[in-house]
A and B are shown apart, each in its own frame.
Chain A
Amino acid sequence: METRRSLLARGLFFLGVAKLGGLLGAITAAARAVPSVAIPFSGTVSGGPESVRVSGLVRITSTLVKTDARFNHPRRVILAFDLHDVSGRGLSSGTRYVARSRDEVMRPLVATDVVEIGFPLQPKVARGFTAARGGLASFRLSFDVNTGALTGGTATVGTPGS
């Protein structure tokens, strides 16, 4: 289910909220009904051949998994992460990078969860995928434990294994 607002508009909206509230990526009550949200993230992926400063938006969809009591499964959400407006610039060479990634994880439904997602970062050139390297996005996400909806989130970017 998609919102009708553009991704850019949502991002600007969230950035504005973050500035006002002092909480980057905070999501307003009005947004709670929207299962798909965009969270801005930024940071530096270190390592060779050069460190890369990365920023952009990650769209996250949270879906509550239906459960039947007889299976005694804990309540879970499926989180879909879609990185498609993420770019970077090499701190030494100025090379432009892009990150396009999509991933799904299943997590127990809790009020606050820290989720790490790896993503490939590749030079924005033809066949750049052959020179891709790994980045790491860390999300601190808040949920409505009744509906599974995302109620807030922040994100940072770092280097895997660091």
Chain B
Amino acid sequence: MYLPWNASRARVREAENARQNRAEILQAWSQGRLSRRDLMKLGLFTAAGTLVLKNGLSPFARSAYADDSSIPTGLPRSPLFGVQPFTQPMPRFDVLPRTPVSALSPAPTAQANTTQQVLNPALEGVRPGDTGPIEGRPPGPIWAHQEFTRFAPAIAIQATQEGAKVNTVYNPGVASAFNSGLDPTAQVRPTFHPSLPDQGPLALWTFNGTLPPKLMQVRYGEPVLFRHRNQLPFNVTQNGGFGRHTITIHEHNGHHGAENDGFTGAYFFPGQFYDYHYPVVLAGWRIINPTASDPRAGGPDDNGGIIKVPGDWHETMSSHWFHDHMFSFTSQNVYKGMAGMFNIYSALDRGNEALNDGVNLRLPSGTAKAWGNLEYDVNLMVADKAWDRDGQLSFDIFQTDGFLGDVMTVNLAYKPFFEVERRKYRFRILNGAVARFFKISLSDGSPMIYIANDGNLLPSPVVATQLDQQGIGERYDIVIDFSRYSVGQKVWMVNLLAHEDGTMPSGTLSLSEALSGSSSDPCVGKFLEFRIVRDPVTPDVSQVPAVMIPNPDVSNVPVARQRNFVFGDDGNQTTDDPVTSFRGPWGIGTNGGDKLDADFGRISAAPHQGTREIWTIQNDGGDWDHPIHIHFEEGRILARNGSASNVPAWERGRKDVYRLRPDGSVTVSIQFRDFAGMFMEHCHNTTHEDNAMLLRWEIDDSGAPFLQPLPTPIPKPQGVTFEPPTDILRSAF
């Protein structure tokens, strides 16, 4: 889709003109000056909500300068300003400070804090003198923090959402020697490379407004209050051409009440905060190990011991992430920088490789602290980006099949290097792209060991020389043993998967093909360089045990019912609520019904509290793939395409993102426990998600403490109101 470097000037000019025309329309649309209906009337959008194939507008329209009628206009490449790959160190994530809850002002409350404040009239729909609540969480008992007393917050973490600025307080959590020599006292500019232009405050929106991306370190037995303050521009038009200033933060894939899940319709405005309460509990805590007697169910204390907690230790989780989930704007806001990672430490996964108590798995991490050592435990957020002629982040919403960038970044740094010792490292790899899948290999074909999938340690490790496709939002935790190399050697992570558009990967390259540079996809090939710089400072005492976390035993949990969800194109819309309803080219069919466009006011499924169900998720086409995320509780894949034998070893643990594959289906066993409220199921190709491939399901508690069905929140700066569901599918309850 991106033009080759040697494209003629005429073709580059044609593609740039088309890109600018799209950017103008997008700006008008994102700022509310044009509606989708207006775009249809203008002949720029099809009835299905996609951009018309028009020369001078669509990158897929036939190029006027190509002899072959099948050659599209394409996209101009992102300028690199002479920057070479592997010339900057990869920054570690920036660890968010953990503070006492008493540091929060105002103090957190179970129900939303509705103290009034005078609103900024630059907010849409606000008149001078209007007031609204200081917290954007929907008010009242339904959206109160569930189990707020039982799991009272023990620590607080705060973040803002802001435009790009210099980071003066970067905390990588490790000494400079473990961060490729980065000077810990240096200011970190908001740029993808020191020799690239700084990102402007309207181009890049991140947590705290700074780079690198943020990391939360939490542990079982220590509930967290995560306060977000929205400090994005009040004026919706101040977005640099894309992105929406209203936000809702999803902790992917936290096990907590819906009020903390970042529901797509529970967004909050600039000038407001939102308190997310993360109990950090093991699923099943109400009935499994309720007295917290099992030492395998717990979190690390500060002295090398275990804080025992109730729940099923088989449900221990490790690598999460958090990101914006704004209805119809998730792809833009996540792409703009609103994504971070979330490491959970447990009795089993202590983040200390030396503690030998028969419970700790001693995975590569470090030894200096009782828990949460990061020296040999490295978060990697891999994402493709693109920027305009000025080097500012750019996005193209009209690629409704999926937006692709042409520049690879790791931890929001352009093709960096990372210094390692001759020993084992754990890498927590997050696919943080919008629509791009990856398939990762080492450049010399050496083995890697999968230890976790979607943040869940596997029953047993799986060794592989090339990882499986990794869909958007999926996490693979792997171990690489660099002791096989000599000091001074280099080895690279390589992407083997090519895309021609955002529907799905176009093909897998062999390692030699990917390294040859012959692919037309600029994101194929080397993207992260490992430099083996020294022998281990201290002996590597880490382990990769042959047994990690066996799957939970659900043999005594009957299956309450089965549901079927079909993900495909040509969704219909049966509602027209101006806030909750959206029309787009994608849709989801439930239990044999028509494929429907997203409406967060529609209830598509309502499992009963405390039950288990079997969900079959199906892809109805071969021209696309969908990584489907089911919020709230981890599921287990029972079958692919109807057969258990099709489930590969690295998918035989628990998961929360299920890649369907072309024409494929996945059958999942999933439980609904401990908390209630409204959650989501959607494609994590966030372009698909934003273009109507999302549904709401909610846990029906049969009348108490939640009424059924739940009213839908309608956020406004003056306060959240509620309305009845726009639609309830007959098969939902």
Interface of A toward B, CB cutoff 8 Å? 65-68, 71-74, 76, 78, 101-108, 115-120, 122, 126-127, 129-130, 132-136, 160-161
Which residues of the partner chain A approach B441 to less than 8 Å between Cβ atoms? 118
> Which B415-473 residues sit within 8 Å CB-CB of chain A?
441, 444-447, 449, 461-466, 468-469
Contact of B465 among A67, A68, A101 (CB under 8 A): A101
Which residues of the partner chain A approach B513 to less than 8 Å between Cβ atoms? 116
Q: Which of A74, A103, A115, A130 has the most CB of B within 10 A?
A: A130
The stretch that binds A, out of B270-278, B502-510, B592-600, is B502-510
Minimal beta-carbon separation of B372 from chain A (angstroms): 24
Listed A/B pairs (24) with beta-carbon separation below 8 Å? A65-B622, A68-B622, A68-B623, A71-B623, A72-B70, A78-B661, A78-B662, A102-B649, A103-B464, A103-B466, A103-B468, A104-B508, A106-B505, A116-B511, A117-B510, A118-B441, A118-B466, A127-B546, A129-B544, A132-B449, A133-B447, A134-B465, A136-B445, A161-B445
B512 interface residue (CB < 8 Å to A):
yes
Given contact pairs A118-B465, A130-B544, A67 touches B623 in the complex (Cβ within 8 A):
yes
Nearest CB in chain B to that of A136: its residue: B445
A153 to B375, CA, bound (A): 46
In the complex, are the beta carbons of A118 and B445 less than 8 A apart? yes
In the complex, are the beta carbons of B445 and A65 less than 8 A apart? no
B621 interface residue (CB < 8 Å to A):
yes
Q: Which of B446, B464, B544, B648 has the most CB of A within 10 A?
A: B464
Q: Which of B462, B481, B500, B510 has the most CB of A within 10 A?
A: B510
In the complex, are the beta carbons of A65 and B463 less than 8 A apart? no
* Secondary structure type dominating chain B contacts: loop
Q: Give the total of B residues in contact with A, Cβ under 8 Å.
A: 38
Which residues of the partner chain A approach B445 to less than 8 Å between Cβ atoms? 118, 134-136, 160-161
In the complex, are the beta carbons of A101 and B621 less than 8 A apart? no
Which residues of the partner chain B approach A126 to less than 8 Å between Cβ atoms? 546
In the complex, are the beta carbons of A161 and B662 less than 8 A apart? no
In the complex, are the beta carbons of A115 and B463 less than 8 A apart? no
A7 to B678, CA, bound (A): 48
Which residues of the partner chain A approach B623 to less than 8 Å between Cβ atoms? 65-68, 71, 73
Q: Could you list 19 further interchain pairs (A-B, Cβ under 8 angstroms) beyond the known A118-B445, A122-B447, A135-B445?
A: A66-B621, A66-B662, A67-B623, A74-B506, A76-B507, A103-B464, A104-B469, A105-B508, A116-B510, A117-B466, A117-B510, A118-B511, A119-B465, A120-B463, A129-B463, A129-B546, A135-B465, A160-B446, A161-B444
Which residues of the partner chain A approach B546 to less than 8 Å between Cβ atoms? 126-127, 129
Minimal beta-carbon separation of B359 from chain A (angstroms): 19
In the complex, are the beta carbons of A66 and B663 less than 8 A apart? yes
Given contact pairs A102-B648, A118-B511, A122-B463, A65 touches B662 in the complex (Cβ within 8 A):
yes
Interface of B toward A, CB cutoff 8 Å? 70, 441, 444-447, 449, 461-466, 468-469, 481, 484, 500-501, 503, 505-508, 510-513, 544, 546, 621-623, 648-649, 661-663
Contact of A65 among B462, B481, B663 (CB under 8 A): B663
In the complex, are the beta carbons of B512 and A132 less than 8 A apart? no
Q: Which of A117, A127, A129 has the most CB of B within 10 A?
A: A129
* Secondary structure type dominating chain A contacts: strand
Contact of A129 among B461, B503, B661 (CB under 8 A): B461
Which residues of the partner chain A approach B461 to less than 8 Å between Cβ atoms? 129
In the complex, are the beta carbons of B481 and A106 less than 8 A apart? no
Which residues of the partner chain A approach B464 to less than 8 Å between Cβ atoms? 101, 103, 120
In the complex, are the beta carbons of B469 and A134 less than 8 A apart? no
Nearest CB in chain B to that of A133: its residue: B447
Contact of A134 among B446, B500, B503 (CB under 8 A): B446
A117 to B510, CA, bound (A): 7
A116 to B468, CA, bound (A): 15
Minimal beta-carbon separation of A157 from chain B (angstroms): 12
Which residues of the partner chain B approach A107 to less than 8 Å between Cβ atoms? 507-508
Given contact pairs A118-B441, A126-B546, A130-B544, A160 touches B463 in the complex (Cβ within 8 A):
no
In the complex, are the beta carbons of B507 and A108 less than 8 A apart? yes
Which residues of the partner chain B approach A72 to less than 8 Å between Cβ atoms? 70
Which residues of the partner chain A approach B468 to less than 8 Å between Cβ atoms? 103-104
In the complex, are the beta carbons of B512 and A116 less than 8 A apart? yes
Q: Which of B441, B621, B622 has the most CB of A within 10 A?
A: B622
Contact of B447 among A73, A120, A161 (CB under 8 A): A120
A129 to B623, CA, bound (A): 36
A106 to B463, CA, bound (A): 21
A78 to B504, CA, bound (A): 13
In the complex, are the beta carbons of A132 and B447 less than 8 A apart? yes
Nearest CB in chain B to that of A162: its residue: B445
Q: Which of B446, B463, B513, B622 has the most CB of A within 10 A?
A: B463
Nearest CB in chain B to that of A161: its residue: B444
A100 to B314, CA, bound (A): 26
A118 to B494, CA, bound (A): 13
Q: Which 3 A-B pairs have the closest CB atoms?
A: A160-B445, A66-B622, A118-B465
In the complex, are the beta carbons of B447 and A134 less than 8 A apart? yes
In the complex, are the beta carbons of A160 and B465 less than 8 A apart? yes
A122 to B465, CA, bound (A): 12
Which residues of the partner chain B approach A101 to less than 8 Å between Cβ atoms? 464-465
Which residues of the partner chain A approach B510 to less than 8 Å between Cβ atoms? 115-117
Q: Which of B546, B623, B649 has the most CB of A within 10 A?
A: B623
In the complex, are the beta carbons of B622 and A106 less than 8 A apart? no
Which residues of the partner chain A approach B465 to less than 8 Å between Cβ atoms? 101, 118-120, 134-135, 160
Minimal beta-carbon separation of A113 from chain B (angstroms): 10
In the complex, are the beta carbons of B449 and A129 less than 8 A apart? yes
Nearest CB in chain A to that of B465: its residue: A118
Nearest CB in chain A to that of B650: its residue: A102
A160 to B508, CA, bound (A): 17
Contact of A130 among B481, B500, B508, B663 (CB under 8 A): B481
A76 to B449, CA, bound (A): 29
A136 to B513, CA, bound (A): 14
A106 to B443, CA, bound (A): 20
Which residues of the partner chain B approach A78 to less than 8 Å between Cβ atoms? 661-662
Minimal beta-carbon separation of B423 from chain A (angstroms): 13
A146 to B229, CA, bound (A): 58
Nearest CB in chain A to that of B60: its residue: A72
Which residues of the partner chain A approach B512 to less than 8 Å between Cβ atoms? 116
A76 to B624, CA, bound (A): 12
